[in-house]
Amino acid sequence: MRNCIRPDARSIPMVVPYAGGILAGQGMLVGAFFGVAASDAAQNETVECETRGEFELPKDPAQAISAGARVFWDNTNRRLTTTATGNYQVGIATVTAASADTTVRVMLARVPAAGA
């Protein structure tokens, strides 16, 4: 198709918004786009970010997260949470994580809010 720009749409280049930059494997939110950095990059540099797939990312240490739960990106603390208010939905947990766990596995997916 002539007008198809990125047929795989698996990753997109994003400009790092965070002071101190980002490391490969860390989550990043730019506007309505969420992705996982493929390499290290400084603030205001462009980095390729994976927007699909399953990733292990940091989570709110106070929360247990069940497999199948919707997860949201807390951009202030740069971690996943089950708290929707003030956060951006990025996917679904693929395994259960206890509150003592520091990470959770998530399948990145722009899933609609309940009732949408």
Q: Is 5 exposed, middle or buried (0-12, 13-18, 19+ CB in 10 A)?
A: exposed
What pLDDT is stored for residue 115 in this prediction? 38
Whole-model pTM: value is 0.87
Closest CA to 77 of 57, 93, 97: 57
DSSP letters for 28-44: EEETTEEEEESS-B-TT
Report yes or no: 71 and 46 within 8 Å, Cβ to Cβ.
no
- The answer to whether the CB of 25 falls within 8 A of the CB of 47 is no
pLDDT of residue 3: 72
Spans of all domains in the chain:
11-51, 54-108
Mean pLDDT per 10-residue segment, the chain (116 residues): 68 94 96 93 97 95 96 96 94 96 92 47
**Which residue shows structure tokens 């009732």?**
115
